[in-house]
Chains A and B, each alone.
Chain A
Amino acid sequence: MTSRAGLHFKTYCMLLIMIVFAPLGNVMLGKGMKSLGAVATWAPSELLHVASRVFMSGYIWLGVASLLTFFVAYMLILSWADFSYVQPASSVALLVVALLGYFYLGEKISPLHWAGIVVICLGVFVVGNTPPRTTEVH
């Protein structure tokens, strides 16, 4: 049986993994796609060509691996913690994406853009603090 302190430690570890790996995954996908250049076509044959280059990119695979790590941590934590407890972590992850984009990828973010990101985080936090189940179980 897990002690209370142990459960807290496990929960914080999983939250940390989620907050680090989801943004990292998105940033890696962004870096990989930017290095391939803008996808400017809808023609199926061209898209196939783009797809083959996408799957040759190391950054894309790093991104997919990071997102999978996030997903496994997410599934695991949901097996013992409430959804409404876990979900606000997504709002922190949004902020981490912006910080990584700014510091690691050198993206330009205007003050209005920052303000928007903070407001979105707040909104996601409010959404997350609501009961996870509202329908009757049949």
Chain B
Amino acid sequence: MREALLLFLVVVSGTGGEICVTRAMKRVGEVKDFRPLAVLRVILRAMKLPWMWIGISMMALAFFSLLAVLSIENVSFVVPVTALNYAAGALGGKFFLGERVTPRRWAGVLIVCIGVTLVWLGKR
């Protein structure tokens, strides 16, 4: 039960964090200049946005949850299960960012979910 909760945090908080960071970066605008000083300016501009900080906090929570679950479970179980990020990413992209998710992508997400179920059953 505890590992399920921690894995949930890894997936949902990790993907949630990425969605918030995406929101912030889309507001910053497309990065076209990759000279170090220009990149630094982009980072500074991004750091002024609340979405960026919410995103970073959520990603930190996901990382520490990952560490906690790795203290209980094997990596060969934990890392494949975190592929559920793709499912969370497709849902989050669709509902929070208004992205269009192609049928092919949904099919991939479904295959990932079937695989995670098999991994979960195979652990017992």
- On A, residues with C-beta under 8 Å from B are 23, 26-27, 29-30, 33-34, 36-39, 51, 54, 60, 79, 94, 97-98, 100-102, 105, 107-131, 134-135, 137
Contacts and interface: CB of A to CB of B under 8 A. Distances in A.
Contacts of B101: 134
Interface string B102-124: 10110111111111111111110
Given A39-B68, A97-B80, A113 B122 contact: yes
B112 A124 contact: yes
A130 to B, nearest CB: 5
Nearest to A112: B122
Interface of B: 30, 34, 64, 66-68, 70-72, 74-80, 83, 86, 90, 97-102, 104-105, 107-123
Contacts of B67: 29, 33, 39, 54, 60
B99 to A, nearest CB: 5
25 contacts: A26-B78, A30-B70, A33-B71, A94-B80, A98-B76, A100-B75, A107-B74, A112-B122, A113-B119, A116-B80, A116-B119, A116-B121, A117-B76, A119-B112, A120-B111, A120-B116, A123-B83, A123-B108, A124-B83, A124-B108, A127-B90, A128-B108, A131-B102, A134-B99, A134-B102
Contacts of B109: 123, 127
